[in-house]
A and B are shown apart, each in its own frame.
Chain A
């Protein structure tokens, strides 16, 4: 079993739709949860950063963490064609020696 599982997609939705991206994980030591966006042939850029359980909102993006279910989500409201990219979930236990473990990424396409 992989430490982090993420549906690779591709996921295609019409412009304006609400997008839901999800990851599950197996390591209960994870405390820091991140979502990265990666455009084709570019490095990942950090979108959202959450500590422990709960919700965090930033503009059109909302990150949710449910540690009891070992399940994290990223919601994108009013999706735009410019949101088309690969979204990677990532998590770590948080100590200075902790590695970040990435999901395999979900390819998202927003149709105009």
Chain B
């Protein structure tokens, strides 16, 4: 199997607080994890690519100081939304690619819904 989990599934916070979202590959090692953002009825927008043990690569227009990514192990990546504001409210989805996958396949987590009041 290739199962990816995310925690929490839903979070509501006050404006100005920081929120950490965890992404775990449960039954495989993931050399690369991806973080996406999805607005209602819109497609997935890639925010950043994180490789285990190295700094994340951010997409154009994504503030790296606002969206901190840590990929500390082959099974865990975290996204921290710092000083969250209402415009950061969205559905955040991670995906992971297997260590030995030559087909570039990504396995997605169930998503985290962030609501900033």
Contact = CB atoms under 8 A, between A and B. Distances in A.
Interface stretch (A41-49, A56-64, A65-73, A74-82): A41-49
A46 B42 CA distance: 18
- By size class, the interface of chain B is 20 to 34
Interface in B94-117: 103-111, 113
A84 to B, nearest CB: 15
B49 interface: yes
B41 to A, nearest CB: 7
B93 interface: yes
Interface of B: 4, 6, 32, 34, 41-44, 46, 49, 91, 93, 103-111, 113
A43 B104 contact: no
A15 B108 CA distance: 28
Nearest to A98: B104
Given A8-B41, A103-B43, A32 B104 contact: yes
A105 B103 contact: no
Nearest to A94: B104
Interface residues of A, number: 26
B104 A104 contact: no
Interface of A: 6, 8, 32, 34, 36, 41-46, 49, 51, 88, 92, 94-96, 98-100, 102-105, 107
Given A94-B104, A95-B104, A88 B43 contact: yes
B104 A51 contact: no
A45 B104 contact: no
B103 A49 contact: yes
Contact of A43 (B32, B46, B93, B103): B93
A89 B98 CA distance: 21
Given A41-B111, A42-B111, A43-B111, A104 B42 contact: yes
A43 B109 contact: yes
